[in-house]
Amino acid sequence: MPASPRIAVAIELARALGGVALIPLRVAGYLLQKRRLDDEARQDLAAEPPPLAEPGPAAPADLGRPLRIFLSAAEHSGEIHAANLIDALTARASELGLPTPEFHGLGGPALEERGMLSIGNPGARAAMGFDGVLKALPFYLRLLTATTRHFQTWRPDVVLPVDSPALHVPLGRLAKKSGARVAHFVTPQYWGWAPWRVRSYTSAVDLGLSILPFESRWYARYNVPAIHIGHPLLDELAALGVEERSALPQDGPLMLLPGSRAGVVSRNLPWMLERVAELQALPEFADLEAHLPHSRTDLDELFDKLIAASPARPHSVKRVRGPLHEELAKGSAALVVSGTVVLDLLPHRLPAVVLYRLKSGLQGWMRDHLLSVPWFTSVNLLANEEVHPEFGFHGDGPTSEVTAALARALSDDAWRAQNFAGQERARKNLGPTGAVSRAAAAALDLALKEPRA
């Protein structure tokens, strides 16, 4: 007999608080093993990409009812992936001779438009920072309680949370306790730092779906069943008709990508504009233009305020609102905040300088002592070399080094050619399109192993 939803969620909260209390001990234990863990991570990065988990041939099946699939997306990017998953799951079920699955879950309008019954929308209350998490905690506890109750009454065959491990690891455990199988789309980047968190992950999932080629090998070390399905961004780029650039980008503006959240933009864009001004003070870059592509109209006022206050040459920094990839195709190089957007640069082969401006000195200590991989930029990890210069720092940081790296990215043809070749290697290791279809096939295979009555 499963515990009541409130008790089950209270147990998860106690588990999370206990984990926080144990962080000092876990950090100490990690530091004692760090050399070995660093070596293992480097071995994984250097290894050949594993074969993709391609779906087997379709076989007729008849359960006498539709499969019950519960999806969960905690933020906008996850909702895009989840919406694509609904399409792929429906198509795969048809190939298998199954009726269209029933979709319930957590998410917003994009999922409801595809026929999913939403019982809550965590994306409406996404929290950033410690204070935000504390204020939002009652909301998430209520959400998990309602979701657990739904698991116990609706009894899904498979639960398919997308990314966001802070919410989806406890949700996965709650789903498994209700008897559902769990396939997590986008395995967490525990290989990057704080790998002790993988212990909790093993109790939360039946199958991890990894999107970077070295991840499944790392998870295998910890006895987590994980398969490599490829990166869903490639499916999105293919759907948009984005073409891969086959030669070095020609003269064009410097593309500024300061993040998509107001707090991140406020922390990064003024610093980035100072580097633009430093470049414009050099004779060879006196006419440099910088473009800031974005589609968030709610950030227009913030962008305009920060641009107006910047020391860059007047009217040389322009907001542009065309489709992102149409704008990136016009660029010559990029100054970008670390994140998934670095992979958006990849089809355009834009040389980039990548920033990770840290909020505090404590985060700087964590970067220096807890990072298990040699780089934090995805393209560098994929190529197993520093293709894009990356700078992680707190405070003013290495201003002259970043300006020099930007000058090289804009005008040093030999370096740009080397960077182009590195991006080619990264793109090859990223693999082909089809990640969402592979994820859907793996999730249905998991559901069909022992379908619920």
**Model confidence at 131: pLDDT above 80:** no
Average pLDDT over residues 353-366: 86
Each residue's pLDDT tens digit, 262-314: 889 999 999 999 999 999 999 999 999 999 998 878 888 999 999 999 999 98
Q: Of 226, 163, 187, 235, whose CA–CA distance to 432 is shortest?
A: 235
| Mean per-residue pLDDT over the chain, rounded | 91
* % of the chain beyond a pLDDT of 70: 96
State residue 260's pLDDT score: 82
Where does residue 97 rank: exposed (0-12), middle (13-18), buried (19+ CB within 10 A)? Answer: exposed
Comparing 5-230+434-449 with 254-430, is the CATH topology the same? yes
State residue 401's pLDDT score: 97
CB-based contacts of 322, cutoff 8 Å, min separation 6 = 293
Domain ranges, ordered by start, for the chain: 5-230+434-449, 254-430
118 or 340, which is more confident: 118
When mean pLDDT is compared across 53-67, 161-175, 212-226, 338-352, the lowest value belongs to: 53-67
Dig out the tokens for 341 from the structure. 């957007």
When mean pLDDT is compared across 108-122, 127-141, 246-260, the lowest value belongs to: 127-141
**Measured in Å, how far apart are the chain's first and last C-alpha atoms?**
17
**Model confidence at 48: pLDDT above 70:** yes
Q: How far apart (Å, rounded) are the C-alpha atoms in residues 309 and 233?
A: 35
**Model confidence at 128: pLDDT above 50:** no
State residue 296's pLDDT score: 78
CATH T-level topology, domain 5-230+434-449 = Rossmann fold (3.40.50)
**Model confidence at 132: pLDDT above 60:** no
**Model confidence at 248: pLDDT above 90:** no
When mean pLDDT is compared across 10-14, 73-77, 78-82, 130-134, the lowest value belongs to: 130-134
State residue 162's pLDDT score: 97
Each residue's pLDDT tens digit, 77-92: 889 999 999 999 999 9
What is the sign of the dihedral through the CA atoms of 253, 254, 258 and 260?
Answer: positive
255 and 350 Cβ atoms separated by less than 8 Å: yes
**Model confidence at 2: pLDDT above 90:** no
Q: Of 198, 268, 187, whose CA–CA distance to 19 is shortest?
A: 198
What is the sign of the dihedral through the CA atoms of 21, 19, 381 and 76?
Answer: negative
Q: Of 409, 423, 395, 387, whose CA–CA distance to 276 is shortest?
A: 409
Q: How far apart (Å, rounded) are the C-alpha atoms in residues 446 and 229?
A: 15
pLDDT band at 63 (very low <50, low <70, confident <90, very high): confident
Dig out the tokens for 66 from the structure. 């539709």
Q: How far apart (Å, rounded) are the C-alpha atoms in residues 178 and 154?
A: 10
Each residue's pLDDT tens digit, 324-334: 999 999 999 99
**Model confidence at 130: pLDDT above 50:** no
Where does residue 364 rank: exposed (0-12), middle (13-18), buried (19+ CB within 10 A)? Answer: middle
Q: How far apart (Å, rounded) are the C-alpha atoms in residues 323 and 149?
A: 41
38 or 361, which is more confident: 38
**Model confidence at 452: pLDDT above 70:** no
Superfamily of domain 254-430: Glycogen Phosphorylase B; (3.40.50.2000)
Q: How far apart (Å, rounded) are the C-alpha atoms in residues 362 and 376?
A: 17
When mean pLDDT is compared across 8-17, 203-212, 223-232, 280-289, the lowest value belongs to: 8-17
**Model confidence at 58: pLDDT above 90:** no
**pTM, two decimal places:** 0.91
Each residue's pLDDT tens digit, 179-221: 999 999 999 999 998 899 999 999 999 999 999 999 999 999 9
